[in-house]
Chains A and B, each alone.
Chain A
Amino acid sequence: MADSKYLVGVFDDGDELLHAVEDIRHQGVKIHEAYTPFAVHGLDRALGYSFPRMGVAAFLFGLTGTCCALLLTFWTMGVDWPINIGGKNFFPFPTNVPIMFELTVLLAAFGMSFTFFFMEDMGPTAKPIIFDVRSTDDKFVVAIDLAKNKLSETEISKLLKESGASEVNVKEV
């Protein structure tokens, strides 16, 4: 792995981090990612993230489930091996609804989970980069990839300090 150098700003408070993120992004600094011990409201917007279109994926996975279920029941009950149950039609629609419902939920749930793991690089082999272990305890951390920024290390460090960072560390990965 090519060595990359990150600048890690450590904040004591979620609000400070939020405003710092807004400020330094305003100065044209590109932020790699922010790490917080709990969800900070508005941080996703401050970081400029667009809303994930997971819902679209879920809908498509669900639709796949519905169609698969319909196909499955239609083929097994209606075509391949029709069984007379209570004198009903071989392919009565209402009896298929529970199966359609179940497969819709199943495929939507699995599909969403796996999409999420894939998109967020959270698979079993993924190696997380811990910028600062205290971000799981009481510190709010923002990581900046120096290679992707035009500003120099000292300039960004100064910006971070100005916007309230209690310490600024350098982390080489």
Chain B
Amino acid sequence: MAHSTHEIPSTEERFEFKSETKRNLIIAALIGVAMVAIGSFLLSKGWSIGVWESHGGEHAAAGHEAAGHAEHGGEHGTTLFARIIANIWMNSVYFLGISVVGAFFIAYNYIAKAGWSSSIKRVAEAMPSFVIVPGVILIILMALPSTRHIVMHWTHDGIMDPASEHYDKIIAGKAWYLNLPFYFVRLIAYVVVWYFGWKTIRKYSLLEDEMGGLENYYKGRNASKLFMVFFAVTASTSAWDLSMVIDTHWFSTMFGWYHLASWHVAGLATMMLAILLLKDQGYLSIVNESHLHDLGKFIFGFSVFWTYVWFSQYLLIFYANLPEETIYFRERFTGFQGRYWWPFHISLLLNFLFPFLILMARNSKRRATFLKLGSVSVIIGHWFDFYQMHMPGIAKDQGGIGIIEWGTTLTFASLFIYFVANELSKANLYPKNHPFLEESMHHDI
């Protein structure tokens, strides 16, 4: 109401990261690791608890009939180890995206001179602190020959050598882009520049708290512009490098958008969930219904945007019906005994239909319950999205959803929460000298 907004609430508020919570998160991460170990042990004994799982390579031959380029992958055989690596890779890419979207959010809000978001700025600002963990894991997985051969088909020896029996002309044609030195340059550049780009923006934001004035705001804005220029390019190239090249023969010109849209909406949903949970604990009192409404609109809008991009990619391939393109969807529909049919369709349900219907009404975007439902649905849905992007190419006929998947995700999620909560506790929950904070307090739509 107009009267009450004149009383300016205190902007001194600090998030307390309790040692008990820290301990629980570390235990959860360890439980996740243990689950992966137990799940692998059980599977190697032939006991399956998950769904869509097959026992130790039983159907290895059957899966290949649908896999277009399985002739090379098949020789190495997909093993249980491949499934574990696939899980680590997939979760790394997913959580890398969720993390970096925090910096992306800050950057575009700086560039757009958006005022409303300054009260929730610190939550987004804390998220990219996790970039370094999945980033390093991805670099390690690529650095070790045994794991990189599992993830990246194009790294096999002799595949680009015309004299070799493994020679693949199509992959050899991509050698100017898909070669290890250049790949490492790109991969390291993503992680380093994203991380330090965020660090720079964060540094000015924290300096602003101490010094006040506009100087740091302008510096932060300029850093955001630079970050955005880099991110605009790398958001696409990282999509190719981290996800698309797994199915090396296949490519889609929509993939960069699609991948970024997936990351973005998952990141926004994580942000929303974090804000709501913080509010439940009594923090972030300045954040009112209107902020939640705006962020809810973001989630709603970008979940539709994701669907739009996803469908555009699908429709073109469906219409053209070229075998080298449709193989991608064939692998996901009927390939590998149809084990990826459900994850593929669940992703559509949770990423589009459910949030679309539940977040459509104005009132539902202003209520914590609906927003939580929508956010959780989007977060799980995009996990399935990344699952179906990566698994058919890496785990092939070993894919499934069982203890290994739950364990890996639990570990990554616990570590993510740990890093974000830790970063959140380092600074005031509001950017107290931010020039737009006052505007954000009175945000009313």
Contact = CB atoms under 8 A, between A and B. Distances in A.
Interface in B145-183: none
B315 A94 contact: yes
Interface stretch (A25-33, A39-47, A110-118, A143-151): A39-47
A51 B362 CA distance: 10
Contact of B1 (A15, A42, A59, A92): A42
B444 interface: yes
A86 B319 contact: yes
Interface string A47-78: 00001000100010000000000000000000
A166 B316 CA distance: 65
Contacts of A45: 1
Contact of A18 (B2, B319, B321, B442): B2
Contact of A42 (B315, B319, B444): B444
B2 A42 contact: yes
B315 A97 contact: yes
A88 B319 CA distance: 9
B361 interface: yes
B364 to A, nearest CB: 10
A98 interface: yes
Given A86-B319, A94-B318, A95-B319, A41 B2 contact: yes
B315 A98 contact: yes
B406 interface: no
Nearest to B443: A41
A55 B315 CA distance: 29
Nearest to B314: A94
Contacts of A15: 2
Q: How large is the interface on B (under 10, 10 to 19, 20 to 34, 35 or more residues)?
A: 10 to 19
A88 B315 CA distance: 13
Interface string A73-91: 0000000000000111000
Contacts of A42: 1-2, 444
Nearest to A46: B2
Contacts of A87: 321
Contacts of B315: 94-95, 97-98
A86 B319 CA distance: 8
Interface in B311-351: 311, 314-315, 318-319, 321
Contacts of A18: 2
- Tell me if A's interface is mostly helix, strand, loop or mixed: helix
Nearest to B311: A97
A88 B1 CA distance: 58
B360 interface: yes
B171 to A, nearest CB: 28
Contacts of B318: 92, 94-95
Given A42-B2, A94-B314, A95-B315, A86 B361 contact: no
Contact of B444 (A41, A55, A86): A41
Nearest to A62: B360
A52 B314 CA distance: 38
A82 to B, nearest CB: 17
B328 to A, nearest CB: 15
Contacts of B2: 15, 18-19, 22, 41-42, 46
A41 B290 CA distance: 12
B224 to A, nearest CB: 28
B405 to A, nearest CB: 29
A31 to B, nearest CB: 16
A59 to B, nearest CB: 7
A79 B395 CA distance: 43
Contacts of B321: 86-88
A112 to B, nearest CB: 14
Nearest to B357: A59
B362 A59 contact: no
A59 B359 CA distance: 13
Interface string B281-320: 0000000000000000000000000000001001100110
Given A41-B444, A97-B315, A55 B1 contact: no
Contacts of B360: 55, 59
Nearest to A87: B321
28 contacts: A15-B2, A18-B2, A19-B2, A22-B2, A41-B2, A41-B442, A41-B444, A42-B1, A42-B444, A51-B362, A55-B360, A55-B361, A55-B362, A86-B319, A86-B321, A87-B321, A88-B321, A92-B318, A94-B311, A94-B314, A94-B315, A94-B318, A94-B319, A95-B315, A95-B318, A95-B319, A97-B315, A98-B315
Interface of B: 1-2, 311, 314-315, 318-319, 321, 360-362, 442, 444
Given A41-B2, A51-B362, A98-B315, 5 more contacts: A18-B2, A42-B1, A92-B318, A94-B318, A97-B311
Closest 5 CB pairs of A and B: A42-B2, A41-B444, A94-B318, A94-B315, A18-B2
Interface of A: 15, 18-19, 22, 41-42, 45-46, 51, 55, 59, 86-88, 92, 94-95, 97-98
